[in-house]
Amino acid sequence: MHDQRSQTVLQQYDWASRYLEGLIQGPPSPPPDATPEEIRARAIARKQRLRAFLRFIGDPHLSYRCLHVAGTSGKGSTSAFLASILSRHGFRTGLHVSPYLQVETEKLQIDDKLLSAQSFAGYVEALDKEVRRWTDAGNHALTYGEFWVALTFLCFQRENCDFAVVETGAGGRFDLTNVVQPDVSVITSVGLDHVRTLGETIPEIAWHKAGVIKQNTPAVTTVEDPAALEVIRQEAIEMNAPLVELRANRDYQWEWRDGDAGYLTMSGLSRPVRLPLPGRFQASNAAAAVAATQLLQHESRPLISVSAAEAGIEQTRFPGRLEIPQTRPQVVLDGAHNPEKVTALVESLKLYSNEGRRILVLGSLGGHDFLNVARIVVPEADEIIVTAPSAVERPSAPVNEIVRTIEDAGVPYQVVLDPSDAIRVALDTASLEDQIVVTGSLYLVGTVREHWYPKGAILEQRTPFPEAGRQ
């Protein structure tokens, strides 16, 4: 009976997954010869089409309160902290993050549980019927991204959510999620990533992130770069939006307690709060979440209790970000795919005692700044296994170019193209005292993570951390 139920869950999920993948038409990026003006016009048209479709189906995204999170790095973890805090206070809370690691339902979480495969398939089918009505009325069909965002909003409406925490994709101003009307907007960081669509300078990218700030609506930022912060401040002034600027060591403090974890101290918390996600940068993300929830008001009083904020932080779990699925040998999974993220990873690795070698499993998708990622992380390794992750319509970064960077650094390496084989080789090679670090792409981490947390167990138990599935 258990096997039959598991098979049914997989069948329901696979149907919905195949439907969504069928909407993907070629690479997600604009054509290689597209001008910046064409790229922007394309993004604006997509958002306008989605807004019109949402109006057509009754504006489901306006049926609950919302917090909107943008940033080059940290927005996923910040979103997870926010959702956890809101849930601990008793609100039914939907969480949308992007991308997913292993199963699509990671992008549709409600109160710490992934949406069930049955509900996932049901909402895909329901939205398909709405799209057919839409196209029958003479409108263009939705793209993959448009369908996904509409599916998210429809799901949270039909699941009777009180709040939704919505993470942007790339950018913010023209991102498909930026049709929401949030109670609070959050901008976690600004760094060089997605430069083709967002711009090649920090102020240009900051302008895109600042687009999530709405008229007369408070915003929180942990950005400290003066060039980026000036753009965010100007946007807040134009929107008449109160802006809370958080700065490390002024507004919040991070302390590492050897052999334990990092702790956050800030106004609004009654005590130092243990951060379940390792890394100094997680203090910034958690502080942003606390500050954002402090801005939520009910009859001029704070809506969220201090105890909910503390418990929410301490009980947050988020896969693929400095995640340690086993300890001997220690394995660290981190989906860092840009220089800012991988620099934070390198700093965080210094917190862990490592008596043996550090074996790096490295692979990236094409389109990311994979060479600079490699240049930053390669010197930290004693041995490297280069691999080739991929996604639907998204090929791997050129392995030979990564190899040249490794050869320039003089670090021993081998190439194992299949990521599943690469982690097995790393585990077979490592002694109990060694450390294995898997990084360069969230898609790589998602594939490798299957070794500890099989997809079927994730779907059946509706959590990225299934106990029975762990090997």
Asked, for residue 467, whether it belongs to a domain, the answer is no
Map residue 197 onto helix, strand or coil: helix
DSSP 395: P
Asked, for residue 230, whether it belongs to a domain, the answer is yes
DSSP assignment of 34-57 equals: --HHHHHHHHHHHHHHHHHHHHHT
* 207, two tokens: 């302008």
359 and 247 both lie in a single domain: no
Distance CA 269, CA 275 (A): 13
285 and 392 both lie in a single domain: no
- Helix pair angle (144-158, 117-136), 10° resolution: 120
Contact partners, residue 460, CB within 8 Å, separation at least 6 = 5, 6, 9, 466
DSSP 104: G
Distance CA 321, CA 333 (A): 6
**What pLDDT shows up at residue 181?**
96
178 and 282 both lie in a single domain: yes
Of 314, 339, 374, the domain-final residue: 314
Asked, for residue 235, whether it belongs to a domain, the answer is yes
Four-residue CA torsion sign, 428, 430, 435, 437: negative
147 and 251 both lie in a single domain: yes
**Number of folded domains in the chain?**
2
Half-sphere exposure of 276 (CA within 13 A, CB side): 15
Asked, for residue 469, whether it belongs to a domain, the answer is no
DSSP assignment of 112-172 equals: TEEPPHHHHHHHHHHHHHHHHHHHHTTPPPPPHHHHHHHHHHHHHHHTT-SEEEEE-SS-S
234 and 110 both lie in a single domain: yes
Asked, for residue 386, whether it belongs to a domain, the answer is yes
Using the structure block, give the residue that is written with the tokens 């990533």. 193
CATH of the domain at 349: 3.90.190.20
Of 250, 283, 314, the domain-final residue: 314
CATH of the domain at 123: 3.40.1190.10
Count, residues in the chain:
471
The answer to whether the bond into 339 is cis (omega within 30° of 0) is no
Q: Tens-of-pLDDT digits for all 471 residues of the chain?
A: 556 667 788 899 999 999 999 998 765 566 667 787 888 888 899 999 999 999 999 999 999 999 999 998 899 999 999 999 999 999 999 999 988 999 999 999 999 999 999 999 999 999 999 999 999 999 999 999 999 999 999 999 999 999 999 999 888 999 999 999 999 999 999 887 655 667 678 999 999 999 999 999 999 999 999 999 999 999 999 999 999 999 999 999 999 886 668 999 999 899 999 998 777 889 999 999 999 999 997 756 778 999 999 999 999 999 999 999 999 999 999 999 888 889 989 998 988 777 899 999 999 988 778 899 999 999 999 999 999 998 876 788 999 999 999 999 999 999 999 999 999 999 999 999 999 999 999 999 999 999 999 999 999 999 999 986 444
338 and 206 both lie in a single domain: no
pTM metric for this prediction: 0.93
Asked, for residue 466, whether it belongs to a domain, the answer is no
332 and 261 both lie in a single domain: no
The answer to whether the bond into 329 is cis (omega within 30° of 0) is yes
Asked, for residue 464, whether it belongs to a domain, the answer is no
Q: How far is CA 175 from CA 109, 167, 207, 281, 347, in A?
A: 20, 10, 12, 25, 30
266 and 367 both lie in a single domain: no
Residue of 340, 404, 374, 389 lying closest to 195 (CA atoms): 340
Distance CA 399, CA 363 (A): 8
* 403, two tokens: 């190899």
303 and 328 both lie in a single domain: no
Give the amino acid at 364.
S
Map residue 257 onto helix, strand or coil: strand
**What pLDDT shows up at residue 2?**
59
Asked, for residue 119, whether it belongs to a domain, the answer is yes
305 and 446 both lie in a single domain: no
- Helix pair angle (2-21, 117-136), 10° resolution: 30
Map residue 374 onto helix, strand or coil: helix
Range of the domain at 199: 2-314
Q: Are 127 and 82 in contact (CB under 8 A)?
A: no
Contact partners, residue 258, CB within 8 Å, separation at least 6 = none
229 and 161 both lie in a single domain: yes
Give the amino acid at 279.
G
111 and 168 both lie in a single domain: yes
Residue of 138, 163, 135 lying closest to 61 (CA atoms): 163
Distance CA 69, CA 79 (A): 7
